[in-house]
Amino acid sequence: MPQPRLLVTRKLPDAVEVRARRDYDAVFNPEDRLYGPEELIRLTQDVDAVLTCSTERWTPELIEQLPARLRIIASFSVGYEHFDLPALRGHGIVASNTPDVLTEATADVAMLCLLGAARRAWESQLLLRERRWERPKMAELLGLELRGRVLGIVGMGRIGQALAQRARGFGLAIHYHNRRPLPAENAQGATYHDTLEGLLPRCNFLSLNGPGGAETRHLINERTLALLPEGAVLVNTSRGTLVDDEALLSALRSRRLFAAGLDVFDGEPAIHPGYYELPNCFLLPHIGSATVETRDAMGFRALDNLDAFFATGRAPDALN
């Protein structure tokens, strides 16, 4: 039997491409160009499957023009807001993601963002790199201590829980908001709030770990930011769309918020230029899952979904 033909839309880690090349008639993107809708339509005309990333948006207009031959789009991501699931279902195309495998790496980066923002890591880096460090100064670059303070987590799924586990080690008390409270063995003593409004006034640190998409767009805005205590820190490692950039920038400029630690941005990589101007932002270029082990595991998980689909007609991480 001929191997299924697979389009891989982005440059992936070597080990993942080696396996894809072995098991599929695979077409790669060695230059790692970002494909727009027209290019995706052209490139998918002779393929059975696509291995995509969250950088390609599978809109109803695009899906409309996909060939009948294309049966599955496996994403190299846990997030899946780039898929229009009803449109894919309507066209009989299965979509899958890569849950679980990036939990620990992303929770590490959430902790990095929290610490980087609380301890003014960016300003400290600049001082050194611009060769301005004259002598240790006892009353400058003072940050926030974590011990005894409260971390609020919005979205206490796998990554939120892994962050909570780390944060407890730093002496933070955990409060969270979710649609439903977690079972006691997962909550590990964290305090549940059934509304965001109930959670925010309690948080010295707030971490966003919920999904992207229309439902959570601008969850953090002028009104909700005003509910945080003076001097709070915001951390976002989920999706930039959760935050209204103008509202956050204004709270950071006025120092109502002490700082923000951000790994994700609305419209990334074209992020709001205001972030570059502010010293109290610790910024990372969406590296939550970027470890050797995790990126390999994500690619293997996406390929596992493709393999199972072509062997049995079912992808274990099917979303639709």
Residues at the contact surface with ligand DGY, assessed by CB under 6 A: 54, 77-79, 102, 288-289
Which C-beta is closer to ligand DGY: that of 44 or that of 106? 106
Smallest gap from Cβ 79 to ligand DGY, in A, equals: 3
CA distance 100 to 158: 7
Q: Minimum distance from CB of 314 to ligand DGY (Å)? A: 22
For residues 99 and 304, the answer to whether their CB atoms sit within 8 Å is no
| 223 in active site | no
- Give residues with Cβ within 8 angstroms of 10, minimum separation 6: 29, 32, 52, 53, 55, 76
CB of 302 to ligand DGY, least distance (A): 10
Residue 6 CA: distances (Å) to CA of 68, 225, 303: 14, 45, 10
Q: Give 35 or 258: the residue with its C-beta nearer to ligand DGY.
A: 35
Beta carbons within 8 Å of 214's beta carbon, 6+ residues apart: none
Strand ranges, E, within 127-280: 150-154, 173-177, 191-193, 205-208, 232-236, 257-262
Number of C-beta neighbours around residue 188 at 10 A: 12
Q: Between residues 76 and 258, which has the closer beta carbon with respect to ligand DGY?
A: 76
Active-site entry in 39, 104, 123, 268: 268
In degrees, to the nearest 5, what angle opens at C-alpha 195 toward C-alphas 222 and 209?
Answer: 75
- Catalytic position from the list 158, 286, 295, 301: 286
- The least CB distance from residue 291 to ligand DGY, in Å, is 12
Does residue 177 have an active-site annotation?
no
- Residue 181 CA to residue 164 CA, distance in Å, equals 15
Is 268 considered catalytic here? Answer: yes
Strands 150-154 and 94-96, sheet pairing: unpaired
The DSSP-derived string for 115-159 is: HHHHTTHHHHHHHHHTT---S--TTSS-----TT-EEEEE--SHH
| 83 versus 258: smaller Cβ distance to ligand DGY | 83
Kindly name the residue from 149, 239, 295, 301 that is annotated as catalytic: 239
Give strand pairing partners of 163: none
Nearer to ligand DGY, 107 or 144 (CB): 107
| Dist CA 290 CA 243 (whole Å) | 22
> Least distance from C-beta 89 to ligand DGY, angstroms?
21
Residue 106 CB, nearest approach to ligand DGY (Å): 7
CB 262 within 8 A of CB 281: yes
If the CB atoms of residues 62 and 78 are measured against ligand DGY, the closer one turns out to be: 78
Catalytic residues: 239, 268, 286
